[in-house]
Amino acid sequence: MRIAYFEPLSRAWARTRVILWQPFDLAQWLLLAFAAWLAGLTTDTGSAFAWRGDSNDTGRDVWRGIDHAWGELASNAVWLPFVAIGIMVALGFAVLLLWITSRFKFIFLDNLIRNRAEITEPWTRHQALGNSLFLWRLCFTLACVVGVFLVMLVFFAPAAGFSFNDALAGLSVAAGVFGTLGLVIFGVAAACVALLTESFVIPVMYRYEMKVVDAWLAFLPWLKTRPLNFVVYALFVLMLALVFSVFFSVFCVMTCCMAAVPYLGTVLLLPIWVAYRLFSVEFLAQFHPDFDLFRPLPEDENEAITGLAEETDRE
């Protein structure tokens, strides 16, 4: 089986032209942009774990800052209830946003597959899928937060303590280096899980009306049998992201930063977001015809899923 990378991107762009320009419909464009914007408001990577600067000074400064902030709060205890309320409100809003975007990921995908622009009907129809994805993303986010906290506790807390003793300065540097390496590895792993979920697990959920765990179980055999293809896919997406970053910077300058305005930027760059969403769909379709979201499923979905498993075994 030959797995291509530029061909799926070319097919995705061809479908994008049909959806957006054949014929051009401003109302559909704006609704698709709205769905794309809400589908992408939050990210799944959990990988913003950069630790910059000298490990000795950075670890000491971070923990001193935490100690100073806690001391300020303790000395002004009257503010503690307001701080707690503010934190709870922010967390509640973040969870609400995660729930909304989980549903809109299916709404956006559904509109592209059906070449339409609807919000209300797919919002209701994909309730179960959206809720399943929301719970998975919530648990995944919490796992990422706990993982980062544990890495910092194991490596950077000792590094900050060692840095106060000149005799243990070497241990502080070593702990900082290993902590940074741990964060990088953890961040890359989390980013890969998020990318696979967004690119392939969500389309599998949509295709077979599966919950997220079942979709992962259906996708994992293909990941195990052809891991190199998915590694190259991740690198290919990274290359596209770098190219897009350069383009976006230039486009922002040309539009006086209008492209950076929420929703308006999505409207202006909608062809890119549509093509990117369709790219993973076209890429996944190469592995088995039943993964092609643009083809009707066999009448017996269980038989189709069984066929997928048998095909994976032969691979």
Digit-coded pLDDT (tens) for 86-96: 889 999 999 99
pLDDT digits (tens, 9 = 90+) for 112-171: 999 999 999 999 999 999 999 999 999 999 999 998 888 877 766 665 555 545 544 555
| DSSP symbol at 296 | P
- Determine, yes or no, domain membership for 247: yes
Tokens found for residue 41: 């408001």
Query: Does 1 reside within a domain?
Result: no
Global pTM? Answer: 0.82
Evaluate if residue 313 carries a pLDDT over 60: no
Question: For 190-210, how does the pLDDT look when each residue is reduced to its tens digit (9 = 90+)?
Answer: 999 999 999 999 999 999 999
Whether 130 is in a domain gets the answer: yes
Give the chain's domain count: 1
pLDDT of residue 52: 38
CA distance readout (Å), 220 to 136, 193, 223 = 16, 11, 5
**Is 190 among the domain residues?**
yes
At 88, list the tokens.
Answer: 């709870």
Q: Supply the angle between the helices 270-285 and 80-114 in degrees, to the nearest 10.
A: 70
Query: CA 142 → CA 57, 87, 137, 148, 216, distances in Å?
Result: 29, 16, 9, 10, 19
The torsion angles phi and psi of 41, rounded to 5 degrees, stand at -65, -35
SS3 24: strand
Is 219 inside any structural domain?
A: yes
Give pLDDT, residue 154: 75
pLDDT (tens digit, 9 = 90+) per residue, 242-252? 999 999 999 98
Q: In which domain, by residue range, is 146 found? A: 6-314
